[in-house]
Amino acid sequence: MAIYIGFKEKAIEFAKQAVVEDEANNHDKALQLYLSSLDYFKTYLKYEKNEKCREAVMAKFKEYLARAEYLKGVNGTDTGGNDSGTAAAQKVRKPGQNKEEEDNKEKEKLKAGLTGAILTEKPNVRWDDVAGLEGAKEALKEAVILPVKFPQFFTGKRKPWSGILLYGPPGTGKSYLAKVSSSTAMTNQRASE
């Protein structure tokens, strides 16, 4: 563990010097210092096992890498054009935008996955369609149907159940019971309105 502590300290030292040179508009010197810093950070990341430390260092690594790429564009080592430097500057100035785009993509994937799990139409299932499971049926009726059908009984300290946990092996009718209770509760709710 003590072997690679020097790499991190050296990388930070080079990064600080690079920032100073960058602010002084010494782009060539800043670029060399950024690259040296990145080398030390790369070596440090190779041996670091703590995930939180790795994430923090990786964030700085990416920031310095983006700045070094921008400086390469400014110095003319890539194309020498003014447009490439401007595009690189926009990438460096807006690092949160890429994260926002990635977050939006992840949210869209999550929404797409959840749409299949959420019932959008009312299931057409009755209590008689479920064979057996009388105890579970009664518990669901007490917890879900009665508070909707007779809300006047559940006032003050007498409150309906907050929920029921349906557990058991696959294929025993848990989802079917949930469909029955939701369809019955919705029917009763519409009838009382």
Angle at 88 between CA 13 and CA 65, to 5 degrees: 30
Mapped onto helix, strand or coil, the DSSP state of residue 131 is coil
pLDDT of residue 120: 58
User: Is residue 94 located within the same domain as residue 145?
Assistant: no
Does residue 72 carry a pLDDT above 60?
yes
Question: Quick check: is 115 in a domain?
Answer: no
The verdict on 23 and 66 lying in the same domain is: yes
Find the mean pLDDT for residues 32-49. 84
What SS3 state is found at 6? helix
Is 166 domain-assigned? yes
Name the residue range of residue 144's domain: 127-192
Separation CA 113–CA 104 (nearest Å):
14
Q: In the predicted model, what is the mean pLDDT of residues 43-64? A: 83
Q: Do the Cβ atoms of 71 and 21 come closer than 8 Å?
A: no
Same domain (yes/no): 73, 31: yes
Asked whether residue 168 falls in the same domain as residue 89, the answer is: no
Task: Give mean pLDDT, residues 66-71.
Answer: 84
φ, ψ for residue 46, nearest 5 deg: -65, -35
Q: Is residue 108 part of a domain?
A: no
Q: Are residues 83 and 155 in the same domain?
A: no
Which candidate, 121, 116, 120, 136, places its Cα nearest to that of 176?
Answer: 136
Quote the number of domains for the chain. Answer: 2
Closest Cα to residue 69, out of 35, 40, 43? 35
And the tokens for 102?
């990635």
Q: Does residue 34 have a pLDDT over 70?
A: yes
When mean pLDDT is compared over 30-44, 140-154, 163-177, the highest value belongs to 30-44
Q: What is the per-residue pLDDT for 138? A: 86
The domain that holds 38 is classified in CATH as: 1.20.58.80
Tell whether 9 and 87 lie within a shared domain.
yes
Q: Looking at residue 90, what is its pLDDT?
A: 43
Contact in structure between 110 and 154 (CB atoms under 8 Å) = no
Task: Give the integer Cα–Cα distance in Å for 128 and 48.
Answer: 61
Q: 93 and 144: one domain?
A: no
More confident site: 75 or 183: 183
Q: Is the domain of 86 the same as that of 150?
A: no
Q: Which residues have CB under 8 Å from 22's CB, separation 6+?
A: 30, 34, 67, 71
